[in-house]
Structure formats: C-alpha cells, structure tokens
Amino acid sequence: MANTDRDKKEAALKELRKEIEIKLEEQLPHLKKMKPMQDTKTEEEQREIDEPTCKNVIEALLFASSKPLTVQEIKRVIKGYKPAQIEKMITELIDEYEKNSRSYRINEIAGGYELSTRPEYAGWVMKLELDRKSRRASLSALETLAILAYKQPVTRVEIEELRGVDVSAVLANLIERDLVEIVGRKEVPGRPFLYGTTEKFLQHFGLKSLEDLPKIGEIRELLENSINADELFKTEKIVEAENNEKSTSEPPADPASSEMAEDSASESVEQSKEQ
C-alpha cells in the first residue's frame, strides 16, 4: 500500500514538472536549454607550436630543470602532443647530441630525463667549481684573519659571533699555513683555545709588529674621503702573497700598497663592529 502511494506521488510530480516546462516554453519561447560547448578540435589541431619548436621547448625545459623531468610533466606544459610523440622527440635530441659530439647529453634517470655534461668533461667542470670554492675560501680566510689580527687573543666562538658563520675549517687552514697559532686558553668554563697571529703573519704582510696594522680610524677617514672601494679592497696583493710571489725580505716601496691587505682585513672587522 505504501509503495502504491509513493508511486502515485512520483507520477504526480513528473506530470507537474512537464506542465511547468510546457508553460515556460509557451511564455518564453526564445529560452532553450543550452547544451555545454564541446571542443570538437582534434588533439593535433589544439597544438600551440609545431614539432621543431616543440623539440626546442623540450630541450629548454630539460636545461632549466633542476631535476629529471618525466614525459607527463613535459606534456602538461606542451599541449597537443601525445606521450609517445614527446618520447620520440627526446630520442631525436639524444641522437642529435651524439651525432654532433656535443659536450652534454640526455640521461634517463628515475623515470624521467635530465640534461647533463658528459663524463669526459667532468675534470674541466671540476676545475671551475674548485676555482670558485677557492676564491670564496680566500675571502673567508681574509675576513677571519682580519678579525683575529685586531682582536687577538680571541676564541673561535668570538670570531663566529662577529662573522655569523662557522670558522672551524678556516681556522684549521690558517693554522696549517702557519699564519695563526694557539696562544693559550681562555679562563672561562670549557677553557676554549685562544688564537693569535704568528711571525709568519707579520712577514706575509710586511709588518714589523702588530702595531703597524692600519688603524680603524685611518680606514674610516679613507672611506669618508670617497676612496673607490673596489680599488681600496682589491685582492691582487693578497693573492700574490698567498702564491709566495711577494718578497718578504724587502720592505714595500709604497706603504699604501703594502698595507692593502691589512686595509681589506680591518674593514671587515669595522663592518662587523658596526653591525
């Protein structure tokens, strides 16, 4: 009985909806149900770029990416191409690099593709990286040496508070070069080592004693007189000294030239203090 009543109600509702639709069409004949627009273009017609350009885009994506790219990731960027077509173009790029003996190649890694240099050129790339690291290490050593020279005896922690970075490796390098040595321990909990400069440090920079280091006030005066910072702090003399090309037996002909390294070092300390 209950099912019969429910069926009657549903039938009545259907009839009511039909009557409403008929009346709406009679009163508003210009309104019709709009069907959703369907894109009838084929995948090929949806392409934004042609195949040669697509291959260049794939190459650019592999070059710019910091990790291997999958075919699906490339497909999301390039519309209108199937995965098989993208793989075909990647294969063509691999063949082109091989045929033209390029210094780089495309490797298939972890389900994706990555552009990298060939192993036979690794030595040259390593030279560039070592040169960059060497330059950064030299500047770091100079800044650490400057702080140490002006504030000695000083602990490693005190140097790090001024520089804001770990200096363990830099200190070890300076000690190995005999420019810095352990001069004692600080009477505080833990009794950390105190570091100071050596006689070789004085010889290295052409100084009679630590009193010959440029005064902070002198450096400030030079800056106030608009001395070109690039000229003032250029590191040619320092690099020469590190390569043992600077004579340690003869006094410098020009005091300003002989103290260029100290000027650069003391400026780092002054900036640290002002901060």
CATH of the domain at 169: 1.10.10.10
- The answer to whether 267 and 238 have CB atoms below 8 angstroms apart is no
Residue 70: pLDDT above 50?
yes
What's the confidence (pLDDT) of residue 135? 59
**Domain presence at residue 44:** no
pLDDT cut 70: percent of the chain above it:
68
**Domain presence at residue 27:** no
**Domain presence at residue 46:** no
Question: What's the token pair of residue 152?
Answer: 């000695």
Angle ∠(129,130,134) on CA atoms, nearest 5: 120
Domain-terminating residue out of 62, 88, 117: 117
157 and 108 in a single domain? The answer is no
67 and 136 in a single domain? The answer is no
User: pTM for this structure?
Assistant: 0.39
98 and 182 in a single domain? The answer is no
Q: Which residues, in sequence order, are CB contacts of 245 under 8 Å at separation 6+?
A: none
Residue 53: pLDDT above 70?
yes
94 and 208 in a single domain? The answer is no
Domain-terminating residue out of 61, 96, 117: 117
Domain-terminating residue out of 117, 149, 165: 117
pLDDT mean over 66-74:
90
What's the confidence (pLDDT) of residue 230? 53
CA dihedral for 39, 45, 49, 53, sign (positive or negative): positive
Residue 3: pLDDT above 70?
no
**Domain presence at residue 176:** yes
Q: Tell me the pLDDT tens digit for each residue of 149-186.
A: 888 899 999 999 888 888 888 888 888 888 899 999 98
The pLDDT-based confidence of 234 (bands split at 50, 70, 90) is low
What is the span of the domain harbouring residue 86?
51-117
Measure Cα distances from 93 to 59, 64, 82, 244 in Å.
8, 16, 17, 49
148 and 195 in a single domain? The answer is yes
Mean pLDDT across the chain: 75
113 and 129 in a single domain? The answer is no
What's the confidence (pLDDT) of residue 137? 52
230 and 203 in a single domain? The answer is yes
**Domain presence at residue 22:** no
244 and 132 in a single domain? The answer is yes
What's the confidence (pLDDT) of residue 149? 87
**Which of 88-92, 120-124, 246-250 reaches the highest mean pLDDT?**
88-92
213 and 243 in a single domain? The answer is yes
**Domain presence at residue 68:** yes
Residue 258: pLDDT above 50?
no
What's the confidence (pLDDT) of residue 19? 81
62 and 173 in a single domain? The answer is no
Measure Cα distances from 13 to 21, 24, 86, 180, 205 in Å.
12, 17, 55, 96, 101
pLDDT mean over 18-45:
62
Residue 238: pLDDT above 50?
no
What's the confidence (pLDDT) of residue 242? 45
- The answer to whether 107 and 116 have CB atoms below 8 angstroms apart is yes
What's the confidence (pLDDT) of residue 240? 44
The pLDDT-based confidence of 246 (bands split at 50, 70, 90) is very low
**Domain presence at residue 265:** yes
**Domain presence at residue 220:** yes
Q: Tell me the pLDDT tens digit for each residue of 184-218.
A: 998 888 899 999 999 888 887 777 888 888 777 77
131 and 104 in a single domain? The answer is no
170 and 142 in a single domain? The answer is yes
- The answer to whether 198 and 248 have CB atoms below 8 angstroms apart is no
Look at the chain and report how many structural domains it folds into: 2
What's the confidence (pLDDT) of residue 239? 44
